[in-house]
Structure 1
């Protein structure tokens, strides 16, 4: 699976060019936005909630997620009017990383408002990942797909762009296979995420870690 993403194939787009191309295709009348997420920790540029999480303010991070509910709802209302479906496969390793615990709370809101999310235990795809992890992929309709590129700090740095119709079609089928293997998001969240204590984060460039609390 996902053979076309190996070996650095695809047209490399810097972050600004990738975002511009993504937005152009996203507005072009596509019917499906499909995404696979595999990494267990990232740095989210431009997210106030992630900034609060990373600084140790867990209560603030959760509050800021809820404050974005109206804007997220507006996005999914617009998507529904355009007959655009947003599907996501989120691969999860255990124990759940602090980042994933934060992200799952973001997804809780998105799931409630219209995003179709399924969670896939990484152990179920160990046979598929003998040579390499499944890629971080975004598929926009039948037109284009991207393999997201991250820099050494785990920030989004751009993407590799693919437009070959056969590659897009094949990857879409492979996405659907993973999606079918996953578990519904609400069930996963209630069982694995909701009972967790606030996560622990580490200071950058040190080994010092501390639990996230409301007063940090």
Structure 2
């Protein structure tokens, strides 16, 4: 019987982390990873206050948003180096729905830079994982190796609220299996047939 549900059962949550604490724990886990990280992004819209490119996008200044994405290249290289130095792999699994939200068009423009810097990004249309969505009601999560998972929680309009940390081996084993199945059904970002034109 599956013990994996979204959100996780309260008795399986080892800690509930508010944004600042989560970022610290995420960095710590990134620097300790030895194998794979799977990051599933299921929501179609997020808010990212503090991200200058997103703030320009949200204000309707698309040209400036693109300029600021390019300015993030060095930070992306630093992020990838954390995993490269440990010979670990970071897989971003991005679920998209049609028609694309305006947020997703902005995010795909950012992914283009990330992919150029070598990040492993895989795109899957929701219809391609509809059975998994129906079974689990998937939400955003990140797994480090086979030892730690963060279930991410957002407000209705996409503002990050907190992360639930889980280390139960059975839950993580099933979560890894789901991630590998999603990866198998996904298409590398560079090959996915989507119009990446930034909206005017």
TM-score (norm. length: structure 2)? 0.89
Higher CA-based Rg = 1
Conserved? CA contact 2:3–2:170, under 8 Å: no
Matched, 1:145 2:149: yes
2:195 counterpart residue number: 193
1:209 match? none
RMSD over equivalenced CA pairs, Å: 2.0
For the Cα contact (< 8 Å) 1:93–1:121, is it kept in 2?
yes
Q: Assess if the C-alpha contact under 8 Å between 1:5 and 1:147 holds in 2.
A: no
Aligned to 2:183: 179
Shift, 1:71, TM fit: 2.1
**2:169 counterpart of 1:165:** yes
Is the deviation greater in 11-20 or in 95-104?
Answer: 11-20
Which residue is equivalent to 2:80? 76
- The 3 A distance-change label for structure 1 pair 59 and 176 is same
Q: Which residue of 1 aligns with 2:5?
A: 5
How many angstroms does 1:45 deviate by?
2.7
Unaligned runs of 5+ in 1: 199-212
User: 1:197 and 1:137, CA in 2 relative to 1: closer, same or farther beyond 3 A?
Assistant: closer
CA contact (8 A) 2:151 2:165 kept: yes
Unaligned 5+ residue runs, structure 2? none
- The Cα of 1:7 is off from its aligned counterpart by 5.3
1:85 to 89, 96, 101: 89
In structure 2, the residue corresponding to 1:5 is in which secondary structure?
Answer: coil
Cα gap change, 1:51 to 1:3, in 2 (>3 Å): farther
Normalised to the residue count of structure 1, the TM-score between the two structures is 0.83
1:155 aligned to which of 141, 154, 159: 159
User: Which of 30, 55, 58 is equivalent to 1:54?
Assistant: 58
Deviations 1:133-160 (A, max 9, x none): 3121100112210110112442111111
